[in-house]
Structure 1
Amino acid sequence: MVTHPFAPVVDENCRTLILGSFPSVKSRENGFYYGHPQNRFWRMLAAVYAEDAPESIAEKTSLLLRHHLALWDVIANCEIDGSADASVREAVPVDITRITDRAHITRVLCNGKLAGTLYARHLQPMVGIPALVLPSTSPANAIWTLPKLTDAWRKALTDENATFCE
Structure 2
Amino acid sequence: MAERLTSLAAVLPPDTRLLVLGSMPGAASLAAQQYYAHPRNAFWPIMGQLFDFAYDLPYPQRLMQLQAQGIGLWDVLQSCERQGSLDSAIRAETPNDFASLLQQQPQIRALAFNGAKAAQSFRKLVLPTLAPEQVPALMQLPSTSPAHASLNLTNKLKAWQSICQYCIL
Secondary structure of the 1:124 match is helix
Asked if 1:107 is matched to 2:110, the reply is yes
Of 5, 17, 20, which residue of structure 2 is paired with 1:18? 20
Deviation at 1:112, TM superposition (A): 0.3
Contact 2:109 2:137 in 1 (8 A): no
Deviation at 1:114, TM superposition (A): 0.5
Contact 2:29 2:38 in 1 (8 A): yes
Deviation at 1:46, TM superposition (A): 0.8
Of 141, 151, 157, which residue of structure 1 is paired with 2:163? 157
Q: Which residue of 1 aligns with 2:126?
A: 123
Contact 2:20 2:112 in 1 (8 A): yes
Q: Which residue of 2 aligns with 1:146?
A: 153
Q: Which amino acid aligns with 1:158?
A: C
Q: Which residue of 1 aligns with 2:139?
A: 132
Deviation at 1:103, TM superposition (A): 5.1
Q: Which residue of 1 aligns with 2:68?
A: 66
Structure 1's consecutive aligned runs of 4 or more residues displaced over 3 angstroms after TM superposition are: none
Deviation at 1:159, TM superposition (A): 3.6
Q: Which residue of 2 aligns with 1:50?
A: 52
Moved more, 37-46 or 57-66: 57-66
Q: Does the C-alpha gap of structure 1 residues 8 and 103 become closer, same or farther in structure 2, counting only changes over 3 Å?
A: farther
Q: What value does the CA root-mean-square deviation take over the aligned residues?
A: 1.5
Secondary structure of the 1:72 match is strand
Normalising by structure 2, we get a TM-score of 0.87
- Give me the whole-angstrom Cα distance separating, in 1, the residues matched to 2:153 and 2:112: 18
Normalising by structure 1, we get a TM-score of 0.88
C-alpha distance after superposition, 1:14-65 (max 9, x if no partner): 1111100001001111111101000010011111112211432211210210
Q: Which runs of 5+ in 1 are unaligned?
A: 161-166
Of 36, 41, 46, which residue of structure 2 is paired with 1:34? 36
Q: Which amino acid aligns with 1:22?
A: M
- Give me the whole-angstrom Cα distance separating, in 2, the residues matched to 1:129 and 1:123: 13
Count of matched residue pairs? 158
